[in-house]
Amino acid sequence: MEEKREKEQFQPFSQIEWERIIEEKERGIEQKEELEKRKRELEEELKRLELSYQEKIEAEKEAEKLRKEEAKKQIERLFVLAQEKGLPYAIEVAKSMKDPFILDLFHDLLAKDQTFKRFL
């Protein structure tokens, strides 16, 4: 009889509590797997968005031409480039211009009303 009591004392959780604990653990594992899957997808997307060395050189040349234009023309051209060659390329051109005002303005216009989504 004493052995039975001792065994009962070592049961820290009821069956319902054990089931809840296991369910929470399984949910956590599923969430972790989902996060890892999403991370892999994002890494693949980033690789797709990276520019080649040649594209970076072209972006530098484009930036050099644009530096001579007025701000409005620069921004308009950046949007044309985003349409023609993709948003990553246009962003690289904007960065290569080394003009914080233009880069910030381009960023603001892309962020406004989520305009950037049109180029993805």
- Say whether both 44 and 72 belong to one domain: no
Kindly tell me the sign of the dihedral angle through the C-alpha atoms of 106, 62, 60, 51. Answer: positive
61 band by pLDDT with thresholds 50, 70 and 90: very high
Establish if 92 belongs to a structural domain: yes
pLDDT digits (tens, 9 = 90+) for 2-59: 555 555 566 677 888 888 888 888 888 888 888 899 889 888 877 777 888 899 999 9
* 37 & 88 share domain: no
Are the C-beta atoms of residues 64 and 98 closer than 8 Å to each other? Answer: no
pLDDT in tens, 73-98: 999 999 999 999 999 999 999 999 99
What is the model's pTM? Answer: 0.61
Considering the domain boundaries, does residue 36 fall inside one?
yes
Q: What residues make up the domain containing 72?
A: 53-119
Cα-to-chain-centroid distance, residue 28: 23
